[in-house]
Structure 1
Amino acid sequence: MSWMAWTLPTAIFFVTIALLLVTFTVLAVRFPETPRRGVLGIETTRGDRLFITLLGSAFITLAWLGLTTAALPWAMLVCLVWAAAVFRWV
């Protein structure tokens, strides 16, 4: 896989996503939940909220890269706030 230019940040990113998926799978099996209706008006489960969080975080990061010159760790802080809001209110 030398053609892929794996770096430590890339590996950490993919390992984190894989661990999130495993964790949420274990949570779904161990503690089943009923869907809840949030501010979007649709029924969501933990997995749905994780997907919305990841998708929103991707857009936040792309907007950050395109619209600001600030350091990228600040975008991660915004993404963490976004994740907290999604899991709380969606």
Structure 2
Amino acid sequence: MNLEWMAWTQVTAIFFLTVALILIAMTLAELRVPTVERQGFLPMPTTRGDRLFLSLLLAAFINLGFVAFTDVHTLWIPLSVSVLAAFVMMRFG
């Protein structure tokens, strides 16, 4: 894959491709089974799309915090925490 037209790495391209695939999957899920608002542990009723948006924001903050406050150069730890947090948010949020 030639990404030299922009200063992207292959990891960045995979990240944005993954986000696009998640959005497509959520769109198809919404068309197949329309969502209803529900009350979880969040202080407001949310839909699947709301919880997805909040989990993406949470993942961004987890990763930025990890980069800002640690000297570890691997991002597997915040990725693992972000995936777990997204699962909890989507299931119980």
Q: Which has the higher helix share?
A: 1
Percent identity of paired positions between Structure 1 and Structure 2? 43
CA distance in 2, matches of 1:45, 1:73: 29
Q: Who is 1:11 aligned against? A: 13
TM-score by length of 1: 0.92
Residue segments in structure 1 that go unaligned for 5+ positions in a row: none
* Alpha-carbon RMSD: 1.3
Paired residue for 2:23, among 21, 27, 49? 21
1:61 maps to amino acid: N
1:4 maps to amino acid: M
Residue segments in structure 2 that go unaligned for 5+ positions in a row: none
List, as ranges, runs of 4+ consecutive aligned residues in structure 1 with deviation greater than 4 Å.
none
How far the C-alpha of 1:88 sits from its partner, in A, is 2.0
2:34 match: secondary structure: coil
Q: How many residues align?
A: 90
Q: Who is 1:73 aligned against? A: 76
Q: Deviations over 1:20-62 (max 9, x none)?
A: 0000000000011211011122111111111000000000000
TM-score by length of 2: 0.89
CA distance in 2, matches of 1:87, 1:47: 9
After alignment, is 17-26 or 34-43 more displaced? Answer: 34-43
Determine whether 1:56 maps to 2:58. yes
Paired residue for 1:88, among 84, 87, 91? 91
1:5 maps to amino acid: A
Q: Which has the higher strand share?
A: 1
